[in-house]
């Protein structure tokens, strides 16, 4: 079942930041689409059985943080 979840990412300041987050989150198994909006810090992830923990780890690997 495909789900869409939204997160707020802190620390992004430029297009490179957006690309890094998009790339890391896109590598999670089950992720279909990743949309990152720099202005709002919004990360939208669509996919099957994607855990919040996996998304948080991927964002951390990119050098940023998902705010609670």
C-beta of residue 21 within 8 angstroms of C-beta of residue 62:
yes
Domain limits at 29? Answer: 2-66
CA-wise closest residue to 27 among 64, 66, 61: 61
Q: Is the pTM of this model over 0.75?
A: yes
Number of folded domains that form the chain: 1
Q: What is the pLDDT of residues 14-60, one digit of tens each?
A: 999 999 999 999 999 999 999 999 999 999 999 999 999 999 999 99
The encoded tokens of residue 60 equal: 């951390």
Please report, for the domain that includes residue 21, its CATH number.
Answer: 3.30.70.100
């Amino acid at each position: 079942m495909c789900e869409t979840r939204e997160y707020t990412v802190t620390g992004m300041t430029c297009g490179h930041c957006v690309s890094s987050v998009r790339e890391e989150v896109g590598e999670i198994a089950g992720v279909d689409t990743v949309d990152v909006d720099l202005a709002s810090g919004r990360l939208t992830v669509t996919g099957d059985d994607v855990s919040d923990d996996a998304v948080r780890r991927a964002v951390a690997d990119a050098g940023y943080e998902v705010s609670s």
